[in-house]
Amino acid sequence: MQDLTTAPVLTTARLILRGPDRADLPAFTRFMTSAPSMVAQGETGTPQQAWFGFMAGVGHWHWHGFGFFMVVEQKTGQPVGRVGLIKHSDWPEIELAWHLFEGAEGKGYATEAAVAVKSWARENLGLTQLFSYIDCDNTKSQAVAKRLGAQTDGTRAPHEPEAEIWVHAME
């Protein structure tokens, strides 16, 4: 394993959250190019686009000091998705985002990992508020946001008009 970032390692009852590694690229590429959740949202890409997305995730850690954590099942050691903080150059705020790989949805992993990331963001980065930009039709991600205590007033994200802004209090 070759650590590509300075990401800390976070652990939960069932998960390990760590920085991305070169060995994670194939699973991420499968997710980006063919996962049913990406197909349903019309957001699949090419392997080249997946590579650029993966590298942007690595770059986030170097540029901002935060980014996506790879989410790994403790029992199997297999990556099941990624959860973390992102802020692209034209985004108004830092987003708490989650992407689960095929077969990992419906197990509570996104919520479990996002709780750990929120806590880390509050305690280590001093963040007092996070946002999630969730497609209006993505009821599964909306349910995760609700479980995390986020709320929306239906306002749309300026950089992504199909997405509502969900606000996370950092209590």
Does residue 32 register a pLDDT over 90?
no
Taking only the tens place, the pLDDT of each residue in 99-143 is: 898 889 999 999 999 999 999 999 999 999 999 999 998 999 999
Helices (H), 41-158: 47-64, 109-125, 139-147
Q: What angle do CA 41, 42, 43 make, to 5 degrees?
A: 90
Whole-structure pTM value: 0.91
User: Per CATH, is 10-169 categorized as 3.90.199.10?
Assistant: no
Q: CA of 65: how far to CAs of 19, 70, 72, 167, in Å?
A: 11, 15, 21, 21
Closest by CA position to 88, among listed 53, 39, 45: 53
Does residue 43 register a pLDDT over 80?
no
Please give the Cα distance from 43 to 128 (Å, whole number).
Answer: 30
The domains of the chain are located at 10-169
